[in-house]
Amino acid sequence: MNIDKKLVALVLSVVLVQGAELPVRTVVLYKHGVGYFERAGTLGPGESGRLDFNAAEMNDVLKSLTITDNGGKVTGIRYDSNIPLQQKLSEFPFSLQPGEPLSRVLDQVKGARVEMEFGNQKVAGAIVAARLIPGDKDRPEREQLTLLLDSGELRNVDLSAASALRFSDPKLQLQFRDYLGALTAERSKDKRTVYIDSTDTKSRQVTANYIMPMPAWKSSYRLLFDATGLQPVIEGWAIVDNTTGDDWTNVHISLISGKPISFMSELYNPKYIHREGAELPEDQAVAPVLYKGAMNALPAPAVAENSKRQEVIAGNVGGVPGAVRGGRFMTAEPAMPSDRMASTPSSLAIEGSGTEVADLFEYSVKDAVTVKKNESAMLPFLQQKITARKLIVYSDQSRPNPLNAAELTNTAGRTLDGGPVTVYDAGTYAGEALTETIKSGDKRLISYGVDLGTRISTATSPLTSDVREIHARNGSLVTKYSRVQKRIYSIRNVDARAKTLIIEHPITGGFTLIDTPKPVETTSKANRFEIKLAANASIDFPVTEENIYDQQTSVTSMTPDALLVWLRNKALSDTAKRQLQAISDVKTQLAANDTEKRRIDGDVANITRDEERNRQNISSLSAVSGQQQVVQDYARKLADQEVQIAKLRERQGALETQHATLQNQLNGLIEKLEF
């Protein structure tokens, strides 16, 4: 018996409970990277339910899984752990190595009781030893097992002659089952299984609900105008991708427009918390203590508990949008569709429903759908007339031509999820557009081509600034200025048909419209003006905006010359001019006072320097004979200079008194300044 047959014989009695699969019944796809799944099936008595997932899906499954067991009570959820294989296998009292003979496996469990069958004969006993006996030219290699029988007899048996072998200890059987299960799981490293156990005495219906990462579903539309250009037809298609490992057979699919908050939470991988070491004092050796002199007593430092921060990632839960591997309803697009094909809506069976769910919107496909694993599908969810009108829109002022556009009003009675729109006009492909999600009753513009029959140029006049008002309060002049800017749109329609033009004029912060027609709409970034263009006509459309702002100037810091400029401003009233004139007069007197003080200070400094030179001359000439007359002349000069300084000092005091008086007068005028 070769090693494969021996291992098969070893596990014949090991019941590997795989559990029954629960097929997918309902799929709800969202726009933010998750999908909601409902799986249901009938389980027999004693049977566990089984759900298979990829390892990357387990965090979301463990976060959201709910179970309904009609006929029993759920007793627990078991699942494959993410512990490394070597760590799992190290916990078993034996190991199974590749190519290892059965005798070496049994030799690792000495003392275990086994039951063996040799034809009609049965032998039971405890394992004493097992060995591989090399062969020779007369006898082939064989495996031998030594057993201690219940009678106390030791017996050697030939393993190759045994037709069956079973461990008597259920715990040891379970260990072999778990060991083999770990090896099986490792062969499919990305697969994880969840088992649903319950109290059951009969067959029952089990339902499992959960979310898991999924590619966001995508929507695309076809907008079909007929030759009249009146109420067109809109078709909506949903593109879904089955990236799971299961086929969706006769599954009910719903599509949710909206983005609920979702995030990743690490629940699957084992989480190990660092713990501080602690020992009893009596368990520690006593070391000698060195005592030092006492200093200021300090409080003992607090011990901070170590914790491991768990990162929470908001947003996408890990759905990985990928390339469509298999497409349903996917055909090559012809170079130019015929008039009949382009103007006639698709033959669709639209029987699904649309329902508001809180702040979300659900598109439900009525009929069951089949999408094989690793395939994608296009599912129709909308086909009906919609309110729309054709326009041209001018938004990009760097281009000379506006864009062909349509104004869509969502009268479909359901939310239109954002996506690309292919436009057909009078049986001809007209272009493509992209739209955001449009709630029921809301309105959007879409542009799908360039209108070469209309040319637009813009000219902007220089900013003008005027003083509107001047006020005074709290010692300051507050001036209200008005800045005006004007932009002229020169429009030329060279086509022989009338058009409706929408100009999106950018909103400039702080500016408001004046002398301009009221916009039909205002967005966060632009004012929209609607203009009727006649055939073969030209028109100029001016947009004038005004910015009013205040500028504050402190009167105290203003010079008399600056006040003179203000006094010439025609916006000032007579009362304001009188008040400012009085302030200007006092400031002029203060300026003259300061000028006089600086002149006197200079004279005092010059005389003081002359006095110092005269004193030095007197000192040097006093010791020289015959120089008495010169010394007396210097002495008279010193006396005259002292008289001059005294008069200058007196004048300085008078100027300082005058300055204080003028300053008080100025402060009083400024405090009373108000107009």
Query: What would the DSSP string read from start to end of 473-513?
Result: ETTEEEEEEEEEEEEEEEEEE-SSS-EEEEEEEEPPTT-EE
Provide the β-strand partners of residue 248: 371
Query: What would the DSSP string read from start to end of 558-613?
Result: --HHHHHHHHT-TTS-HHHHHHHHHHHHHHHHHHHHHHHHHHHHHHHHHHHHHHHH
Contact between 66 and 219 (Cβ < 8 Å): no
**What pLDDT is recorded for position 670?**
84
Q: Taking the model in full, what pTM does it have?
A: 0.60
**What pLDDT is recorded for position 502?**
94
**What pLDDT is recorded for position 275?**
65
Distance CA 406, CA 446 (A): 5
In terms of Cβ atoms closer than 10 Å to its own Cβ (0-12, 13-18, 19+), residue 191 is middle
Q: What is the 3-state secondary structure (H, E, C) of 362-419?
A: EEECCCCEEECCCEEEEEEEEEEECEEEEEEEECCCCCCCCEEEEEEECCCCCCECCE
What are the boundaries of each domain within the chain?
3-213, 218-258+327-447, 457-554, 560-672
Averaged pLDDT in 10-residue chunks for the chain of 675 residues: 43 50 91 90 85 86 89 80 71 84 89 90 91 83 90 90 90 86 68 80 86 91 85 90 91 84 75 67 48 40 37 31 34 38 61 57 82 91 89 91 91 86 90 89 90 94 84 84 93 94 92 91 91 95 93 86 83 85 89 90 88 82 76 82 87 90 87 85
**What pLDDT is recorded for position 350?**
58
Distance CA 377, CA 399 (A): 40
Question: Could you read off the pLDDT of 285-301 as tens digits, one per residue?
Answer: 445 443 333 344 444 44
> Which helix (H) or strand (E) covers residue 666, if one does?
helix 628-672
How does 221-243 read in b/e, with b if 16+ C-beta sit within 10 Å? bbbbbeeeeeebbbbbbbbbbbb
**What pLDDT is recorded for position 323?**
32
